[in-house]
Amino acid sequence: MTVSTREIPTSDLDLFTDAARLDPYPLYERLRALGPVVYLSKHDVYAIPRYAEACEVLDDWGRYSSARGVMMNPQLNEQLAERVMLCTDPPDHTAIRALFGRPMRAEELRNLRPRLEQEAESIVERLTGQESFDAVTDLAEHLPMTVVSTLVGLGEHGRQHMRRWAGATWEAQGAPNARTEAAEPVVEEFISFAMTEAVPGKLEPDGWAAQLYTAADNGEIRHDQCPFFILDYVTPSLDTTIHGITNAVRLFAEHPDQWDLVRHNPGLISHALNETLRLESPVQQFSRVVTETHELGGVPLEAGSRVLVLFGSANRDERKYPDPKRFDVTRRPSDHLAFGRGEHACVGMPLARLEMNALLRALSKRVARFDIIDSTPLLSNALNGLERLEVSVRLDDSVTTE
């Protein structure tokens, strides 16, 4: 096909500096103003900052391939390409995704829901009886680390290190910098554990990881794929949910009027979660490789180019969401991109929603106000959240404590 000679907007912005990671939104605004596709000269990548074009990329796996890696780290892309579910294309991806989705089918989650709700009620009751607590480590980590980590079934040693390994894997996805370099040895440790310790006889027999080897025994996947697929169970299941919950608490502390709406109408909780995920997307970006020369938004892209889909920017695109900086729990933005879209939409999304919903519902029954005492922003190559969020709460007048 003939590709236009239209000049491609170019920017020398570095989205991976400390300042950019701590507050990327002004930079995203600048990129959206430049155009639907912007060439980032510092990283030799084409940024996709607007919603419509982000959807187009995510919906078209044929033109925008994940099989050559979805990270900004060339070394990690080479190491994981076509070895983890995230870095595959159909038809392989379709088959692997069906396997991964088995433990999170609707009937499985229905059985899990009472346990998650009971755990949520218990931890909220305990924490709201304290003078203050850390909404990250005390609250948001609780369900992923006490329930989900057990379901994965890596054994005690694996559970102790899951959060550290998952965090390092996210950091290693960034463009090469000090955070990427520091994370790489931890990722190697994780892979080594998966290959030598996360194996039959050492895994919890009913855990999700063990089910991968059962699938291999049945000829659905190869045995040598199992250790890398374990990374797919661990990495997305912790930090994204933890930061989603933490971001919600922060936003409700800053916008008590929105918390009042949720408290008095629990039916808004699912919409409030979508609005939280839209406004503060836990995962900020993933990349793809262009497979054929074509145009996107009228901008020419050459085969072999890498594009960077900026979820955090697309979810604040004023072309899609009116007054996008405003936190509005009545907005109902169910089409946000925080969980991705298309073939690679997060397979664990139903479980993450169940966890977040259980905690917000439990909090809405007891808490009238959140007050932020102190916080520490998360400095991350890929994730958006807080490292620490110390809060106190004012209980609803109808709640009695003994």
Structure confidence by residue, pLDDT tens digits, 234-288: 888 899 999 999 999 999 999 999 999 999 999 999 999 999 999 999 999 999 9
pTM: 0.94
In-domain check, residue 134 = yes
In-domain check, residue 318 = yes
Place of tokens 């059962």: 214
pLDDT at 2 (0 to 100): 40
pLDDT at 399 (0 to 100): 62
Q: Are strands 10-11 and 38-40 parallel, antiparallel or unpaired?
A: parallel
In-domain check, residue 2 = no
In-domain check, residue 1 = no
DSSP state of 139: I
In-domain check, residue 245 = yes
> At residue 395, what are phi and psi to the nearest 5 degrees?
-75, 155
pLDDT at 402 (0 to 100): 47
DSSP state of 383: B
Domain span at residue 344 reads 10-395
CA distance 59 to 306: 16
pLDDT at 6 (0 to 100): 63
Cβ neighbours of 111 (radius 10 Å)? 9
CA distance 288 to 365: 43
Residues of the chain predicted below pLDDT 50 = 1-5, 402
The candidate with the shortest Cα–Cα distance to 64, out of 92, 98, 90, 41, is 90
The CA distances from residue 283 to 51, 184, 194, in Å, are 15, 19, 24
DSSP, collapsed to helix, strand or coil, labels residue 75 as helix
pLDDT at 265 (0 to 100): 97
Number of domains forming the structure of the chain:
1
At 374, which helix (H) or strand (E)? strand 367-377
pLDDT in tens, 293-344: 999 999 999 999 999 999 999 999 999 999 999 999 999 999 999 999 999 9
pLDDT at 400 (0 to 100): 52
CB 7 within 8 A of CB 294: no
DSSP state of 4: P
Q: What is the CATH number of the domain that holds 362?
A: 1.10.630.10
CA distance 168 to 355: 23
Q: Residue 252 has which token pair? A: 């409700």
pLDDT at 3 (0 to 100): 43
In-domain check, residue 198 = yes
In-domain check, residue 279 = yes
